[in-house]
Amino acid sequence: MAKMRWGRLAGVLGVAVLAGAAYLAWWPVPIEPVAWSAPAAPGYQGVHAPNQRLAGLRMIDLKGEIGPEHIALGQDGKLYTTVLSGNILRMNPDGSGQEVFANTGGRVLGFDFDAAGNLVAADAVKGLLSIAPDGKVRLLTDQVGGDPIRYADGVVVARSGKMYLSDASTRFAPKDWGGTFEASVLDILEQASTGRVLEYDPATRATRVVARGISFANGVALSQDEKSLFVNETGKYRVWKIVVDANDLDIGQLPAGAQAQARVLLDNLPGYPDNLMRGLDGRIWLGFAKPRGAAIDNMAGKPWLRRLTLRLPRALWPIPKPYGHVIAFTDDGQVVADLQDPAGAYPETTAITETADRLYVQSLHAQGLGWLPRDVLKAP
C-alpha cells in the first residue's frame, strides 16, 4: 500500500514537473525578442566614480500623490509637476500652495511650455496635448501618417514653435499593457528598437517622423543653437545627437555618410538613461531610472531566455535594485557633474530640474518631491 501511494505521488510530481517545463518553454508571451550585443558594463569609475552627493534629499510632501516624473518652472514662477494619478500639480517653488492645475485622464511623462504659456504635454496614454493657463486640455496630435502615437514620453518646444517628442515604443502602449513601467519593461526586453522621434508643427498641424529605430526613445532636449536634438536610447544605454531637420532617419541602419545627421554622443552608460532636462550654464541633466544589471546584459544574445523570463512571476524578473544617479553633460558630450546615492533611497532618479537655488529630482514612483540646494554642485 505504501509503495502504491509513493508511486501515485511520484506520478503526480512527474506530471507537475512536465507541466511546469512545458509552461516555461511554450507559454505565449507578448514579446518577440531580438538578439543584440550589449557592451560590457563600465561600472562606476572615472567620471562616474561612486559618491554620496545625491544622498540626504530634502522632501516636499505631495499630499498622497506619487511619481513626480517631470518638473518645470512656468512663466508664472510656479513649479509644475506631473504625477501618477494623471494630475498636473502647481505650487510655489518651496512646495507651498499646492493645487491641481489640470488632469489629462492619462499619464504625462514630459512637458514644456510654449511662447504663449501653454503647457505642452507628452501623455503616454493620450498623445501630445496642449494645456492652457486656465487648465483646459486640448489634443494636438495622437498619430503620424495614420499610425497611432502609442507611448508619448518626452517633449521639448523650440523657439520656432515646433515641438519634438519621443514615441518610446510603437509596440507596447501603456494603456494596453498595464502602465508605463510595465510597457517599458516589455519593450526593452524585446529590443525590437521601434521607438522614434516626432516633430509636430502647430502652424501646419502636421506631424512627421524625424528619426526611428531607437530602443525605447525616452528623454529629449534641444542643443543651445536648436539645430540638434539629444535623445536618450534607454534600451541601449546611450544618448544620440540628431539634427532636427532629419527626415524619417532610421538610426538602426545608418547609411554611409549619415553621421552628419546623427551620432552617438554618450555610449555604454552605467544605467538606463531616462529624462533629459536643460539646466543652467549650458548643462543638460540626465537621470538613470535603474543601474545596469548583469543578468539583463547576459540575456542580450539569448532571445529564448528573455521569453522564459516573462513566464516567471514578476517578483523573479531581473529588475535592478534602485540606485540614485544623475549626471550633467554639455552639448559636446562632456560630463560635468555626477551625483549618486548608492542606497537608492529615492526611487528612479529620472532627471534633475535645475533652478537658481535648487535641484529638484524627478522620479517615476517617489512618494514626494526630493530636492537639494544647488550649492551641492560646488562640492568637490
pLDDT at 27: 67
Closest CA to 223 of 241, 249, 200: 241
Q: What is the three-class DSSP state of 283?
A: coil
- How far apart CA 253 and CA 258 sit, in angstroms, is 10
Domains and CATH numbers, the chain: 49-374 (2.120.10.30)
Cβ atoms within 10 Å, residue 332: 9
Q: Strands (DSSP E) along 176-256, which ranges? A: 195-201, 206-214, 217-222, 228-233, 238-243, 249-250
Whether the Cβ atoms of residue 31 and residue 47 lie closer than 8 Å to each other: no
- How far apart CA 375 and CA 378 sit, in angstroms, is 5
- How far apart CA 334 and CA 151 sit, in angstroms, is 30
pLDDT at 275: 98
Per-residue pLDDT of the chain (380 residues; tens, 9 = 90+): 565 566 665 555 554 444 444 434 446 899 999 999 999 999 999 999 999 999 999 999 999 999 999 999 999 999 999 999 999 999 999 999 999 999 999 999 999 999 999 999 999 999 999 999 999 999 999 999 999 999 999 999 999 999 999 999 999 999 999 999 999 999 999 999 999 999 999 999 999 999 999 999 999 999 999 999 999 999 999 999 999 999 999 998 887 666 689 999 999 999 999 999 999 999 999 999 999 999 999 999 999 999 999 999 988 888 899 999 999 999 999 999 999 999 999 989 999 999 999 999 999 999 999 999 999 998 66
pLDDT at 22: 44
Query: What is the grid cell recorded at 366?
Result: 517617489
Cβ atoms within 10 Å, residue 53: 17
